[in-house]
Structure 1
Amino acid sequence: MISIHDNEITSYLVDLKYHKIILYTEASNSERVEVSFEDVLAHQFETLEGSIILDIQEYRLNQFFENNKELLEKQKAYCWPLYYDSVDELSVRLMKEGYLYYVIYSSYGLNGWIVAKQYDVNRIV
C-alpha cells in the first residue's frame, strides 16, 4: 500500500453532487498521492494550511455514532445527514447500506472524519 504518513495535504476537493472527497497530498520526496473517498454521506473537517497526515483509520459505524451522538441529535431536525426519526434507525440504515467511518489524524493541521463507502490511495503521475 502507498504510504500517506507525513504527507502534506496540498488541497482537497469536496464534490457534493457526486458524493466524493479527494485529498491531494505530497510526500517529502515530492511524490504526489491522491486519497479519495467515494459515496460520501457526511464529513467534518477542522483545517489549517500546511496540514500533515499522521494516519487515516477505518472504523465501524458504531464508533461514528458513539463519537457524534450529540451532533446527530442536534442535526436530526435539519435532516442531516439524511432524514431519520431516531439515531438507532439511522445506524441500522447506514450499516445495511455499507457505510464506514474514516478518521483523519494529523501531526499538524487537518483533523476530521468522513462517512463513506470506499477509500482509495493512488499515486498521481
Structure 2
Amino acid sequence: MTSVHDNEIISYEVSLKNRTIIMNTFDYQTESLTKIVFSDVFAHMFETELENSIILDIKKSEISNFVIDNRDVLDKYKNSTWPMDYNTIEELSEKLVTENYNYYEILSSFGLSGWVVARNYELIKA
C-alpha cells in the first residue's frame, strides 16, 4: 500500500476551475515520487507552507469534525460566501454529507499542514 508518511512536498497545484489539488511528493527512503490527487474539491486551507515540508499523515475524518475544527474560519468568512452561501452551519454540514464530501486533514512533521474537503483522494506512484 502506498504511503506518504515522511514524504517531502515538492510542489502543489490548485486548479479552482477543475476543482483539483495535486501535491507532488518525494520519498527519500525509496527515492520515489508520489502524487497526491484530491478531486471534486469543495474547499481547502493550507498554512505554514515551507520549503522541505514533510507530511506526517493524511487522515480522513468525519464532516462533523470539519465543522467543529473550522468553526472560527467558517464564521469569519460566512458573509463572504465561503466556502458557499449558507444560512446555518447545519445547512453547510448537511450539504457536505448529502453530496458525499470527505474531510482530509494533512498532518505535518514539518511545514505545510491543513485540510481539503473533496469527494476523492488518491495516491499515484510516479
TM superposition score normalised by structure 1: 0.96
* Stretches of 4+ aligned residues off by more than 3 angstroms: none
Match of 2:85 in 1: 83
Q: Please point out which of 95, 106, 109 is paired with 1:107.
A: 109
What are the within-5 Å matches in structure 2 for residues 1-125 of structure 1?
1-28=1-28, 29-46=30-47, 47-124=49-126
Percent pairwise identity: 45
CA deviation after TM superposition for structure 1 residue 16, in Å: 0.5
CA deviation after TM superposition for structure 1 residue 74, in Å: 1.6
Letter in 2 for 1:107: S
Q: Distance in 1 between matches of 2:74 and 2:53?
A: 27
Q: Distance in 1 between matches of 2:75 and 2:6?
A: 35
Q: Distance in 2 between matches of 1:65 and 1:36?
A: 23
Q: Mark the runs of 5 or more structure 2 residues left unpaired by the alignment.
A: none
More strand by share: 2
Q: Secondary structure at the match of 1:3?
A: coil
RMSD, aligned α-carbons: 0.7
CA deviation after TM superposition for structure 1 residue 3, in Å: 1.6
Q: Distance in 2 between matches of 1:91 and 1:7?
A: 32
Q: Distance in 2 between matches of 1:41 and 1:8?
A: 25
Q: Secondary structure at the match of 1:117?
A: strand
CA deviation after TM superposition for structure 1 residue 77, in Å: 0.6
Letter in 1 for 2:109: S
Structure 1 window deviating more from structure 2 (67-76 vs 113-122): it is 67-76
The one-character-per-residue Cα deviations of 1:6-52 (angstroms, maximum 9, x if unpaired) are 11100001010010001100111320000000011111111111101
